């Protein structure tokens, strides 16, 4: 009932602002998620400038996960486009592939962690290594939440809840997915430059 | 606009649980925040009385302490470890639970939908979730008071290594863990709240409610929320690193320091890193605490001085300016960490610049009061009290902002005096002003004015008697967070003053009982409030006294003017609510049809110079635009 009552209030606002409030909410949320990583990366810079910092080469495993994350964004966008066109079967395929690529990304990160261990960088030890684990780990946690979102969308497609008239859910999910992808690319380049 | 939803509000009966417990109504959530905040305030005040007892009478024993605190009060003396825990918990509860969640949570929730003309928040569900996370985090924080090893004891700023090494002091163990869990939930709650507030303000204003027509309360809630969204995540990042240091043996903040002759098995960490991360939140946080109080003050002062707020645009501008600056001054808390003097100078200059927007606000308050037709309601007294405290405390900020002076003053009672006046007391006054002013809106009743006056004067006297003398102690080098001063010759002369402060603190706290009694008594027995008890212009007073779901029984009113048309010459009354159309006013008051300028059109300027000059004056609100 509250929702309905509120829509009465929404109508005039629509003219001024195309953005759905929930979508706006999503953007502000993304800003705050970004700030967590801004905290980590600026802490990284401050700490590194202090010296006593073990240098190492970033394992190639992180490159693989970067490729996976780019691919997953493409499939996520493709699914959204298909939803606009009401090609529900293709939406299912797109969302499914995105979720699977997300899982592959997580596995690729674990693989990269292994490579870190092989070159002697552990979670416990010099902060230069610990930072990499924390930064990538917290990012991966967010990605897990995004994978869950993709599964929910996937289920909703089967229940005919996702179509050209009802795009909000899939659009928000896709925005979140792209954001985490771009965030990862930022983190990857950051770590690459720093190592 | 579609009005076919008008009658949705008076539908089915609600259960007790959905109405009072898991309510999604912004008005009920506001009350939940207020009551929780009040409980936390009482606890925090009681804790402070315990350590004031220690500071005032360090040599005496109080047998009842042992029966109250058990081991922490053995032999009637407060345990030194517990002293630190008390200071920590007092600060944490007051800063975060009372003045952040209690203040913003109450008034943002109550006023945002009301004053912008919305039926509720953008996401009522998230709003409810935000409260319940806050509740949970409050419970965990309170529970930490009762664990055997005591609550966290590293100060409200939880600097490592005290916070990072579980074996450091008793409170560094389970107490600190609970602190971190509680604060993590708190941050989540605060973020949800802020997301909701920002979205609601920017997306759900009623027809005609332009940004420039929003009451200053709303502006202050907006800037507060923006600060929260940008700074709390950084505290979360700091906390994550701390948790890993504590529980998984990483070395972000810890290095191979020596403890009892043994080197710690860590490498390469830096406690200064924590300070950077903490104060990147910490400084904005002090404005998160203050700005809602300033917004409330603007509203209360304009309404009760029966004058338009002086320099509306300058007020908005200084809120934005303060918000922006507050992100680049955190280094002023770290002058003595051995930072590069050049960097220190940068932080110093930026810090001193903050004094400009702060002064603009102060002058605008004074100018609004100037020649006003002032009604001294209790709310108004508290608002004026805030202005006084803001001046007294803000001035000392300028001393502390000078790196050279701060090297002497850092970690002394001067700092304690500074932030208790400008943050603690000023924000608390803002909150009390808000409660007195919007009580009729929350409960449909009026509070007792006489008791309000009594409460104000006792509180006002108490905060100055308690905090002002602390400046002198600080100038003499008396350090903060010391268990007792009897061991230091040069501090012995402050013994009597300490006792005086403690007595004032006890009396001042007792005065709060008047408020608490007035608050709860008036809910049941107070006089019924009229719809618009203060003859105010803002939209919340157009809603019925009986606080219904959806706020307005019919359609949401449209807005035709800014909220500060008080004492407009020629108007039928001394206030023109925001809902009044120009056409309903006497001919002389209608805005010229040609130039649809804002309510108070810029004065015509004949030449470019005068135009530029008047723009310049406008910038500082010196000429009412
Ligand atoms: C003119 C404006 C202000 C200036 C220049 C200023 C400057 C400073 C400086 C330099 C310190 C660090 C002192 C030290 O630890 O050595 C400080 C501490 C503090 N200030 Fe301010 N301040 C100003 C206004 C405010 C306001 C408006 C608030 C809050 C509403 C505030 C809250 C605090 C708090 C809480 C601390 C102490 C934190 C702690 O160490 O526990 N200040 N201020
Ligand atoms: Cu500060």
- Residue A78: inside a domain: yes
Give A-chain residues touching B232 at CB under 8 angstroms.
32
Give dist(CA B96, CA B347) in Å, integer: 25
Entry pTM: 0.90
- Residue A81: inside a domain: yes
- Domain holding B467, by residue range, is 307-529
pLDDT tens digit string along A104-119?
999 999 999 999 999 9
- Domain holding A63, by residue range, is 59-194
- Residue A83: inside a domain: yes
- Residue A54: inside a domain: no
E strand map for B210-260: 258-259
**What is the predicted ipTM?**
0.88
- Residue A67: inside a domain: yes
Read off the pLDDT band of B272 (50, 70, 90). very high
Is B209 in a helix, a strand, or coil? coil
Q: Which of residues 220-279 of B touch A (CB under 8 A)?
A: 229-234, 236-238, 240-241, 244, 248-252, 255, 267-270, 272-273, 276-277
Whether residue B178 is found in the same domain as residue B322? no
Does position B609 have pLDDT exceeding 70, yes or no?
A: no
Of B529, B564, B586, which residue constitutes the final position of a domain? B529
The pLDDT assigned to B14 comes to 65
The pLDDT assigned to A96 comes to 96
Instruction: Write out the two tokens for B322.
Output: 């303060």
- Residue A169: inside a domain: yes
Whether residue B21 is found in the same domain as residue B143? yes
Candidate ranges A45-59, A91-105, B161-175; pick with highest mean pLDDT: A91-105
- Residue B474: inside a domain: yes
Of B208, B243, B265, which residue constitutes the final position of a domain? B208
State how beta strands B445-446 and B527-528 pair: antiparallel
- Residue B252: inside a domain: no
Whether residue B177 is found in the same domain as residue B313? no
Give dist(CA A114, CA B106) in Å, integer: 49
Does position B582 have pLDDT exceeding 90, yes or no?
A: no
Number of domains in chain A: 1
Query: How many whole angstroms from B356 Cα to the centroid of ligand 1?
Result: 15
Task: Ligand 1 pocket test: pick from B280, B294, B418, B479 the residue with the most ligand atoms within 8 Å of its Cβ.
Answer: B418
Report which of residues B369 and B616 the model is more confident about.
B369
Give dist(CA B167, CA B163) in Å, integer: 9
Whether residue B192 is found in the same domain as residue B66? yes
Does position B583 have pLDDT exceeding 90, yes or no?
A: no
Query: How many whole angstroms from B176 Cα to the centroid of ligand 2?
Result: 24
Question: Which of B18, B28, B228, B237 has the most A C-beta neighbours within 10 Å, making it the best mutation to test the interface with A?
Answer: B237
- Residue B424: inside a domain: yes
The pLDDT assigned to B592 comes to 56
Whether residue B202 is found in the same domain as residue B349? no
Residues, CB within 5 angstroms of ligand 2 (ion): B 283
CA nearest ligand 1 atom 34, residue: B419
pLDDT tens digit string along B55-86?
999 988 998 999 888 888 888 899 999 999 99
* B24, B207, B240 ranked by CB distance to A12: nearest: B207
The pLDDT assigned to B623 comes to 44
- Residue B455: inside a domain: yes
The pLDDT assigned to B484 comes to 86
Read off the pLDDT band of B256 (50, 70, 90). confident
- Residue B255: inside a domain: no
Please state the rounded mean pLDDT for residues B92-97: 97
pLDDT tens digit string along B42-57?
999 999 999 999 999 9
Residue percentage of chain B with pLDDT more than 70 = 92
Number of domains in chain B: 2
* A8, A54, A124 ranked by CB distance to B3: nearest: A8
CATH number of the domain encompassing residue B422? 1.20.210.10
Binding pocket residue ranges, ligand 1, CB within 6 Å: B 157, 286, 289-290, 332-333, 351, 354-355, 358, 394, 397-398, 400-401, 406, 409-410, 415, 418-419, 422-423
CATH number of the domain encompassing residue A105? 1.20.120.80
Does position B237 have pLDDT exceeding 80, yes or no?
A: yes
Whether residue B317 is found in the same domain as residue B179? no
Whether residue B202 is found in the same domain as residue B335? no
Query: How many whole angstroms from A43 Cα to the centroid of ligand 1?
Result: 23
- Residue B248: inside a domain: no
- Tell me the pLDDT of chain B averaged across its residues: 90
CA nearest ligand 1 atom 6, residue: B397
- Tell me the pLDDT of chain A averaged across its residues: 89
- Residue A109: inside a domain: yes
Whether residue B487 is found in the same domain as residue B341? yes
- Residue A26: inside a domain: no
Of B208, B239, B270, which residue constitutes the final position of a domain? B208
Beta-carbon contacts of residue A110 (< 8 Å; ≥ 6 apart): none
State how beta strands B258-259 and B527-528 pair: unpaired
Report which of residues B554 and B129 the model is more confident about.
B129
The pLDDT assigned to B615 comes to 57
Please state the rounded mean pLDDT for residues B335-348: 92
CB A174 within 8 A of CB A99: no
Closest Cα in chain B to A27? B195
């Amino acid at each position: 009932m509250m929702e309905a009552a509120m829509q009465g209030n929404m109508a005039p606002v629509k003219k001024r602002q195309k953005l759905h409030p929930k979508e706006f909410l999503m953007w502000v949320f993304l800003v705050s998620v970004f700030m967590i990583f801004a905290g980590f990366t600026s802490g990284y810079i401050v700490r590194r400038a202090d010296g006593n910092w073990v240098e190492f080469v970033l394992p190639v495993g992180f490159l693989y996960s970067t490729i996976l994350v780019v691919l997953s964004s493409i499939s996520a966008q493709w699914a959204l486009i298909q939803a606009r066109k009401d090609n529900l079967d293709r939406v299912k395929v797109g969302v499914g592939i995105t979720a699977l690529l997300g899982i592959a990304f997580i596995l690729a990160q674990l693989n990269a962690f292994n490579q870190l261990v092989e070159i002697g960088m552990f979670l416990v030890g010099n902060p230069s290594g610990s930072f990499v684990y924390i930064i990538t780990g917290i990012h991966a946690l967010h990605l897990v939440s995004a994978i869950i979102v993709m599964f929910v969308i996937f289920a909703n497609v089967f229940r005919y809840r996702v179509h050209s008239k009802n795009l909000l859910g899939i659009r928000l999910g896709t925005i979140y997915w792209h954001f985490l992808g771009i965030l990862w690319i930022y983190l990857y380049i950051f770590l690459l430059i720093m190592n | 606009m579609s009005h076919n939803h008008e009658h949705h509000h008076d539908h089915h009966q609600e259960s007790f649980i959905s109405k009072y417990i898991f309510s999604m109504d912004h008005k009920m959530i506001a009350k939940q925040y207020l009551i929780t905040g009040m409980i936390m305030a009482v606890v925090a005040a009681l804790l402070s009385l315990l350590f004031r007892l220690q500071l005032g009478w360090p040599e005496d024993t109080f047998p009842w302490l042992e029966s109250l605190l058990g081991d922490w009060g053995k032999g009637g003396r407060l345990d030194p470890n517990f002293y630190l825990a008390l200071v920590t918990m007092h600060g944490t509860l007051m800063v975060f639970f009372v003045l952040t969640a209690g203040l913003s949570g109450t008034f943002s929730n109550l006023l945002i939908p009301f004053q912008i003309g919305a039926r509720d928040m953008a996401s009522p569900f998230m709003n409810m979730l935000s409260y319940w996370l806050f509740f949970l985090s409050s419970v965990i924080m309170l529970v930490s008071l009762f664990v055997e090893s005591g609550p966290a004891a590293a100060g409200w700023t939880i600097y490592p290594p005290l916070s990072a090494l579980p074996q450091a002091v008793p409170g560094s163990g389970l107490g600190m863990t609970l602190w971190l869990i509680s604060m993590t939930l708190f941050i989540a709650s605060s973020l949800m709240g802020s997301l909701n507030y920002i979205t609601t303000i920017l997306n759900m204003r009623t027809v005609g409610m332009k940004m420039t027509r929003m009451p200053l309360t709303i502006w202050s809630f907006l800037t507060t929320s923006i600060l929260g969204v940008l700074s709390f995540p950084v505290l979360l990042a700091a906390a994550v690193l701390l948790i890993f240091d504590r529980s998984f043996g990483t070395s972000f903040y810890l290095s191979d320091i020596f403890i009892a002759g043994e080197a710690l098995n860590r490498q390469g960490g830096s406690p200064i890193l924590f300070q950077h991360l903490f104060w990147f939140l910490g400084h904005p946080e002090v404005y998160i605490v203050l700005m809602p109080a300033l917004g409330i003050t603007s509203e209360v002062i304009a309404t009760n001085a029966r004058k338009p707020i002086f320099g509306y645009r300058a007020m908005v501008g200084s809120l934005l300016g303060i918000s922006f600056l507050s992100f680049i001054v955190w280094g002023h808390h770290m002058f003595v960490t051995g930072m590069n003097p050049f960097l220190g100078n940068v932080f110093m200059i930026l810090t001193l610049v903050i004094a400009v927007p702060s002064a603009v606000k102060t002058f605008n308050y004074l100018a609004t009061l100037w020649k006003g037709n002032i009604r001294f309601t209790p709310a108004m007294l508290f608002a004026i009290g805030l202005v006084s405290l803001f001046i007294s405390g803000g001035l000392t900020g300028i001393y502390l902002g000078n790196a050279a002076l701060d090297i002497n003053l850092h970690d002394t009672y001067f700092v304690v005096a500074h932030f208790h006046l400008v943050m603690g007391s000023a924000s608390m006054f803002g909150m009390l002003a808000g409660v007195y002013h919007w009580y009729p809106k929350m409960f449909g009743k009026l509070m007792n004015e006489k008791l309000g006056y009594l409460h104000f004067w006792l509180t006002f006297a108490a905060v100055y008697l308690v905090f002002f003398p602390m400046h002198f102690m600080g100038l003499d080098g008396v350090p903060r967070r010391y268990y007792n001063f009897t061991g230091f010759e040069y501090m012995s002369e402050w013994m009597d003053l300490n006792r005086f402060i403690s007595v004032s603190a006890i009396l001042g706290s007792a005065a709060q009982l008047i408020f608490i009694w007035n608050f709860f008594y008036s809910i049941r027995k107070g006089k019924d409030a009229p719809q618009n008890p203060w003859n105010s212009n803002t939209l919340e007073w157009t809603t019925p006294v009986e606080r219904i779901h959806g706020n307005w029984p019919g359609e949401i009113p449209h807005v035709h003017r800014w909220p500060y048309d008080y004492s407009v010459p020629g108007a039928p009354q001394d206030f023109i609510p925001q809902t009044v159309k120009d056409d309903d006013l006497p001919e002389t008051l209608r805005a010229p049809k040609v130039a649809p300028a804002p309510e108070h059109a810029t004065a015509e300027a004949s030449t470019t110079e005068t135009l530029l000059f008047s723009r310049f004056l406008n910038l500082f609100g010196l000429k009412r635009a």
